[in-house]
Amino acid sequence: MDHHDIEEPGVVAIIPARYHSNRFEGKPVAPILGKPMIQHVYERALSVPLLSRVVVATDDERIAECVRSFDGEVVMTRPDHASGTDRLAEAATKLNIPEQDVVVNIQGDQPLFPAEVIEQVARPLLSDPALPMSTLIYKIMRKEEIGDPNHVKTVFDRNGYALYFSRSPIPFQREPNEVVEPTYYKHLGFYGYRKGFLLTFVSLPEGEWERFEKLEQLRALEFGYRIKVVLTEYDSVEVDTPNDLKRVEEILRRHQQDE
């Protein structure tokens, strides 16, 4: 049998979007150059050839209404999920995504993500059917991000599997006058999951390290699942505050002028 006859798993993007946010209420529907942020993210995802389907997962009718207004696909999820991955698993179940398919989680607050990152995060799962999940990392360039707990750091083994994720700077540099400083890697919030693994993940109890760091990917590591990290050269601009929104508008404006 020719190996081309074996169908490659499909890749579906799910964009979880919540209306409530401590730092920025109604963030997904906030306008950027006259278009809601979630629409920027959705349309960007639609332009990625690898994706066979793009769906917004939300628990809020205002966001659902907004997505329907630009003819996007939306799935309603329960409001009481403890984590984004729980919401993703419920959405993937409701959408009847096949077990071997790859689900890519695109954050609803990253309206400028480059299309290449989707390919980069999905590729390891397409090449290795046994791999449960993958994510992206970026070499930290801005010194202030090393000590900032909002920027999650990671260390990984020689084969590119994550060893740990932390809000603390890891590794710790014991000898301060060491000539060579460690390279720090920042975790970017793009994940790829095998659909079957999502259901396993949400059936696991909360991990101990996950509880302290408030990082759900640690649950996978703590229960012995491998996470492949892929080094990307694309840093992604996240919108956490109304100020970030202005920064994104500026960047988009410049892009439009260049075109």
Q: What is the pLDDT of residues 8-42, one digit of tens each?
A: 789 999 999 988 877 788 999 999 999 999 999 99
| Pair type for strands 185-194 and 133-139 | antiparallel
Structure tokens at 39: 């629409």
Whole-angstrom distance, CA of residue 200 vs CA of residue 174: 38
In which element (H, E) is residue 136 found?
strand 133-139
**What does the DSSP 8-state code read for residue 231?**
E
Q: 252 near 37, Cβ under 8 Å? A: no
Q: Is the pLDDT of residue 1 over 70?
A: no
17, 107, 94, 20: which is closest to 63 by C-alpha?
A: 17
Looking at every residue in the chain, the average pLDDT score rounds to 92
Q: Is the pTM of this model over 0.85?
A: yes
Closest by CA to 237, choosing from 111, 124, 128, is 111
Contacts of 6 (CB under 8 A, 6+ apart): none
| Structural domains present in the chain | 3-258 (3.90.550.10)
Q: What's the angle, vertex CA 242, arms to CA 83 and CA 45, rounded to 5?
A: 60
**For the chain, percent of residues with pLDDT exceeding 70:** 97
Mean pLDDT comparison of 20-24, 65-69, 245-249, 250-254, highest-scoring range: 65-69
